[in-house]
Copies of this chain bind each other. A is one copy, B any other.
């Protein structure tokens, strides 16, 4: 690259593949699925029960996407009545730390953020 740098202190940078990856891995349901599978392998309906708000369709899509990215693994347990188990992969496990850091940040700063929101929302109704 010629020169996109303006003296970036920490060298953060977001390429298109980065964004695409984060979109696929940090979307609405992925974190919950990841959370469940980090604790134990789950059947499809285990996950539905663990995440009541997700629809069948969205859960299927989420699982396929995570599987495609190598974050989880789909294991066929038996064929007649079909039984499937989803498991976290070793690659998936490496995702846990970054996500934890993010959640810790969210937890730590939630009060500040709520204050900011009230201030922002208030400066209009007033």
Contact = CB atoms under 8 A, between A and B. Distances in A.
Interface in A84-124: 91, 94-110, 112-113, 115-117, 119-121
Interface centre among A18, A23, A34, A103 (most CB of B within 10 A): A103
Copies of chain A in the complex:
2
Interface residues of A, number: 53
A35 B6 contact: no
Given A69-B116, A95-B109, A97-B105, 15 more contacts: A8-B35, A12-B38, A14-B31, A14-B103, A17-B110, A22-B26, A26-B26, A67-B120, A68-B121, A70-B115, A91-B109, A91-B112, A91-B113, A97-B101, A102-B102
B18 A106 contact: yes
Interface of A: 6-10, 12-14, 17-19, 21-23, 26, 28, 31-32, 34-35, 38-40, 67-70, 91, 94-110, 112-113, 115-117, 119-121
